[in-house]
Amino acid sequence: MSQFQLEIRVKPRPGLLDPQGKAIHNALHSLGWDSIEDVRVGKVIYLELEADSREIAVDRVHAMCRKLLSNPVTEDFEVSVSEEVEAEPL
Amino acid sequence: MSQFQLEIRVKPRPGLLDPQGKAIHNALHSLGWDSIEDVRVGKVIYLELEADSREIAVDRVHAMCRKLLSNPVTEDFEVSVSEEVEAEPL
């Protein structure tokens, strides 16, 4: 068993309105940053979990994303492993 | 002028309570995923902007983070450049 740190990025699908991104875009413009062309906001979820291998950890997190962490109608997700810590042998 | 796509990850500081992460942790446990040890939730912001160089783009986004996009008391941020598109010469 190893311990994995995974990063999940959940992002609004292209083409869908993103009111939070629009609000940030407007706020940045009004502060003088007018070279910005687009802003989109999603969430990032940092997970620590134990699994036998990297593939099993990633598969498990994909299942979590489909079932709970993202809305398949409006959002896309990406999973990446940021760290793997080998468990000490007993 | 080149166009840059940047990704900003804003994360709750270590040690601070993260009620949204705790709620997700509990929900995943109750769905049977009990090998999870920690969950933390932040936001990810995708920005497209024009700048003369990569360094200028990153510096500008750091300033935006300090001024608007993150709360320095409770959050840390990381900036990475995900794509650079050279502008066509006129």
Please give the model's pTM, rounded to 2 decimal places.
0.89
**Whether the Cβ atoms of residue A47 and residue A25 lie closer than 8 Å to each other:** no
Residue A52, number of CB atoms within 10 A of its CB: 9
Q: Which residue has the higher pLDDT, A82 or B71?
A: B71
Tell me how close the Cα of B26 comes to any Cα of chain A, in angstroms: 12
> B86 is written with which tokens?
């050279």
Number of other CB atoms surrounding residue B78 within 10 Å: 13
Chain A, nearest residue to B60 by Cα = A33
Q: How many angstroms separate the CA atoms of A81 and B4, rounded?
A: 25
**C-alpha distance from B61 to closest chain A C-alpha (Å):** 10
Among A15-24, A59-68, A79-88, B44-53, which is the least confidently predicted range? A79-88
Query: What residues of A are in contact with residue B46 (Cβ under 8 Å)?
Result: 11, 21, 38-42
ipTM of the complex: 0.87
pLDDT at B88 over 70: no
pLDDT of residue A50: 93
- Of the pLDDT bands very low, low, confident and very high (cuts 50, 70, 90), residue B85 is confident
Domains and CATH numbers, chain A: 2-86 (3.30.1280.10)
Q: What is the DSSP letter of B61?
A: H
